[in-house]
């Protein structure tokens, strides 16, 4: 039999400790959001159909504290001021080239080439009739500066990305983003539930060679 006085003490202790427990839970949630994980929603068609409008993704904010960004990864970043529009300052794109990479378009099959290797891109947007966006709407030939990234949307014709800003300015710094502007790597779609999936790096990037050392 539980002593009535002991039961009252436990009940009273629970209510005294509850604010502390709630405070700890809130603090942990704030710290996780600030330093480890954050959710973002997709406001535009620039990554269709890898990411659709209103999809929600989970972003790992810690990963690039331990290694450099890699080709093929989908990243959220603070966009340069001249990239921004009504969708705010947080952009999401796929990394195509990293510092030192020679990126050009196109080969005889209209594919992007990175460091001399052609890249098949099965994730590029297709419409309902199966028509796929071109890898690029204009030829280009650039070398990504060290510490910067060449990023592109999977829906090429609807993406304000490195290619668009290269075409507008012909300035490589204006067309690339700083690696340290990255907020984190988007690694999963978690909502809507029917579209939940991991955002892994396509295997086609495995064959891309590293850039030759700078002379």
Q: Catalytic residue numbers?
A: 46, 93
Distance CA 136, CA 127 (A): 16
Through-space distance between the first and last CA atoms of the chain, rounded to whole angstroms = 83
For residue 131, give the H/E element and its range. none
Residue 120: φ, ψ to 5°:
-80, 135
Beta bridge partners of 149: 177
Judge if the upstream peptide bond of residue 192 is cis by omega within 30 degrees of 0: yes
Beta bridge partners of 41: 56
How is 168-214 classified by DSSP, letter by letter? HH--HHHHSEEGGGEEEEEEEEEESGGG-EE-PPPGGGGGPPPPPPP
Q: What is the number of other CB atoms lying within 10 angstroms of the CB of residue 136?
A: 19
Structure tokens at 132: 């796929």
Distance CA 48, CA 60 (A): 21
């Amino acid at each position: 039999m539980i002593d009535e006085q002991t039961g009252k003490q436990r009940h009273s202790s629970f209510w005294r400790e509850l604010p502390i427990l709630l405070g700890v839970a809130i603090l942990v949630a704030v710290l996780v959001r600030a330093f480890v994980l954050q959710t973002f929603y997709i406001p535009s068609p620039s990554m269709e159909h890898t990411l659709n409008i209103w999809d929600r993704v989970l972003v790992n904010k810690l990963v690039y504290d331990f290694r450099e960004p890699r080709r093929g990864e989908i990243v959220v970043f603070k966009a340069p001021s001249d990239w921004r529009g009504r969708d705010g300052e947080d952009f999401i794109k796929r990394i195509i080239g990293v510092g030192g990479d020679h990126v050009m378009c196109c080969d005889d099959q209209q594919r992007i080439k990175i460091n001399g290797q052609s890249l098949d891109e099965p994730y590029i947007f297709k419409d309902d009739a199966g028509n796929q966006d071109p890898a690029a709407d204009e030829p280009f030939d650039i070398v990504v500066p060290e510490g910067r990234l060449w990023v592109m949307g999977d829906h090429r014709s609807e993406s304000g990305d490195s290619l668009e800003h290269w075409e507008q300015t012909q300035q490589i710094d204006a067309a690339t983003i700083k690696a340290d502007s990255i907020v984190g790597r988007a690694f999963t779609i978690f909502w809507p539930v029917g579209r939940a999936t991991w955002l892994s790096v396509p295997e086609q990037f495995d064959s891309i060679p590293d850039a030759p050392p700078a002379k």
